[in-house]
Amino acid sequence: MSVQAVYYSDRDGLEMALKQPNELLFNTKAEADARDRVLELSEEIREYLLKKVDGMSEELADRCALVIAEDKDLFQKAFKKPQVLSESSAAQD
């Protein structure tokens, strides 16, 4: 029997990581750090959305912010070529 280290982001929390191990438990610290950076960006986007969009619920702001943060590379491309957003969503359907 061997011992294996696994990593997770404190922002997700251990309980959530254990509920979704394929998505939230990582084999390297670098992968967990990358997830943590996504969550940090998501928190900032969430606060921005709550300030800028009247009537937006915290739950909806959380969900939108996480999607934007997880797809930040796609959004960066969209600033130059907006249609990449619709092309990306069409490819996922």
- Cα–Cα–Cα angle for 24, 63, 11, rounded to 5 degrees: 40
Q: CB neighbours of 84 closer than 8 A, spacing ≥ 6?
A: 74, 77, 78
Domain borders along the chain are 37-92
Model confidence band, residue 43 (pLDDT cutoffs 50, 70, 90):
very high
Q: What is the pLDDT of residue 2?
A: 85
For position 93, what pLDDT does the model report?
57
pLDDT digits over 55-89, tens only?
Answer: 999 999 999 999 999 999 999 999 999 988 888 77
Question: Which of the two residues, 89 and 40, has the higher pLDDT score?
Answer: 40
Rounded to the nearest integer, the mean pLDDT of the chain is: 92
Neighbours of 71 (CB within 10 A): 15
Per-state percent for the chain, helix, strand, coil, to nearest 5: 70, 0, 30
What superfamily would CATH give domain 37-92?
A: PSPTO_1197 like (1.10.10.710)
